[in-house]
Amino acid sequence: MNLELDTPPVEILPLAGNRIKKGSKVLITGATGFVGSRLAEILSIQFGCEVYAMVRDYSRAVKLSHLPIRFIYGDLINDTWKKQLPAKIDYVFHCAYGSSGSGQEREKTDLSGTKNLLNIVAACTPQKFVFLSSVSVFEQKNTGVIDEAGSLKPMDDYGRNKLGVEKLIADECRKLNIRYCVFRPSAIIGPGAPSYVNRIIREIRSHIIVFVHQGEGKLNWIFIDDVVGAMINATCISKSDSKTYVLSNPQPLTYIEYYRTLALSMGENLHYQFMDRAENKQLLKRNKTRISQIIMSSIDVKKLKPLMKIPLLSGLLGILNKIRKIFLKPEGKQKKQLSSPSPRTLLPVPEEYVNFLSSEAVFISQYLISDQLLSGYTNYEVALKQIKLKSEWETSWQD
């Protein structure tokens, strides 16, 4: 039985003379998320900071429980957590965003939540407020370079909310006299990254991968520790005050390259399909039908039996059951297809993302290195090695 307790290394690239001071009090919002949890780990272990990790869900906080950090429980949109804060906070890292609920609820978490956060932490007189935004705030171009001066035109609610929060931070921080800095990272990769590693590994293993535009679109990636490193360095580099930075490795990969190398490092073969726009549209139509099939098949009529005693409901449930049976037939066939992956088992890409996935534009920062927020970018081989180590660690007690 394997009894090794390996944990991924914590070191990040040091930047001479700009280290955050040991014992600094830092507040991290979204501390159980991918960036927030790595920040909490590095700030507490490597830099010896007094970390206050703001979390909404106790269960999710368990993954940080081995660290010497204090938890602050609460929701950004109210102030019930205010009294858990210390009198003084040196730095605030705002990584939280509305990740659940309706579009309106997400917007409320992002905008009202950030305003509330700023008003509350202002009393703790932080030296700097660092916000984690996204390149989603930019207009999507098909070619060329997008840097800090790029045109701002988000393509979805996530990007729109991020942009709204950026503007709010600029206004409020000026009013409250708080120094701030904003980062717009591209696709963040690293050990356990939910969107760009874990999801893709699942896709690779399920053999259901569809590339639009032959997979030649550019994946603008950045390694997690570069994101975290730049955010930490921003606390003590005054040149970064009131500035917004793009955070993206200047050497992007094509999607197909990324999937292929990730699959290779996992010891998996890459099975994929190419799909053009027309075919995607067709599949989107079909997929809508499939979603309704899944909903219908998940209704357990047996569990609803007590309701049968009510005459009107009894009739309705009878009809529901009949419809359900009709829907379940094609669902059965679908399951058969899924058990042996075939080239036709395709997942369509939401239409609005087709342009995004086929774009060959490259994100580049004009100032990140010159302002000494990073001394260099982590190269892909190192990033891949770290991802592989974490993936092996995740399964090494499954013997």
Partner 1 sequence: MLKNKYILVGAGAISEQLYLKFFDQKEDVELYVLDKNEERLRDLKNKFPQFEYSTGDFQNIVQRVPFTAGFICLPNFLHAKFISHFREAQIPVLVEKPVVINPNTFVDLSTGNSSPVFVAHLRRFFDSSLFLRDIIEKSVFGSVQNIEISDGGIFNWNLQSDYLLNREKSGGGVFMDSGIHWVDFLFSVFGDLKIAEYRDNNRGGLESECTVKFSFSTGVGSMRFSRIRNVSRFIKLELEKASLCFSLSESDRIRIQMKAYPGIELNHPISDHLPTAFSRQMNAFFSKVHSADKIHYPNILPGAAEALKSVKFITHCYESRA
Q: Compute the least distance from the CB of residue 286 to partner 1, in Å.
A: 34
Count of positions on this chain that bind partner 1 (CB under 8 A): 26
CB of 1 to partner 1, least distance (A): 5
Q: Which stretch binds partner 1 (CB under 8 A): 55-63, 109-117, 212-220, 374-382?
A: 55-63
State the Cα–Cα distance between residues 45 and 225, nearest whole angstrom. Answer: 14
Among 15, 27, 31, 69, binds partner 1 (CB under 8 A): 69
Cα 240 to Cα 127: distance, rounded to the nearest angstrom: 13
Q: Kindly state whether residue 87 participates in binding partner 1, applying the rule CB under 8 A.
A: no
392 binds partner 1 (CB under 8 A): no
Scan for tokens 């955070």, then name that residue.
Answer: 247
- 9 scored as a contact of partner 1 (CB under 8 A): no
Site for partner 1 (CB under 8 A): which residue of 16, 17, 22, 65?
65
Our finding on whether 5 is near partner 1 (CB under 8 A) is yes
Largest CA distance in the chain: 77
Beta strand spans in the chain (E) = 25-29, 50-55, 69-73, 91-94, 128-132, 145-146, 180-185, 187-189, 210-212, 218-219, 221-223, 243-247, 253-254, 273-275, 362-363
| Span interacting with partner 1, options 57-65, 243-251, 262-270, 365-373, rule CB under 8 A | 57-65
Least distance between partner 1 and beta carbon 8 (Å): 11
Cα–Cα dist 167/149, whole Å: 15
Residue 291 to residue 164: CA distance in whole angstroms? 33
Is residue 367 involved in binding partner 1 (CB under 8 A)?
no
Q: Between 126 and 192, whose beta carbon lies closer to partner 1?
A: 192
CA–CA separation, 285 vs 55, rounded Å?
Answer: 39
Cα–Cα separations (whole angstroms), residue 285 to 208, 329, 349: 18, 19, 11
Q: Which residues pair with 253 in a beta bridge?
A: 219
Q: Is residue 389 part of the contact set for partner 1 (CB under 8 A)?
A: no
398 binds partner 1 (CB under 8 A): yes
Nearer to partner 1 (CB atom), residue 1 or residue 16: 1
CA dist., res. 348 & res. 209, Å (int): 10
Would you count residue 330 as binding partner 1 (CB under 8 A)? no
Report how far residue 22's alpha carbon sits from residue 372's, in angstroms, rounded to the nearest whole number: 20
Cα distances (Å, whole numbers) of residue 237 to 118, 127, 231, 375: 21, 11, 10, 13
Examine residue 3 and tell whether it contacts partner 1 (CB under 8 A).
yes
User: Nearest approach, Cβ of 87 to partner 1 (angstroms)?
Assistant: 21
Which range binds partner 1 by CB under 8 A, 52-60, 92-100, 183-191, 244-252? 52-60
Subset of 278-317 contacting partner 1 (CB under 8 A): none
Nearer to partner 1, 84 or 125 (CB): 84
CA–CA distance, 83 with 101 (Å, rounded to integer)? 27
Binding site for partner 1 (CB under 8 A): 1-3, 5, 7, 44-45, 57-59, 61-69, 71, 73, 393-394, 397-399
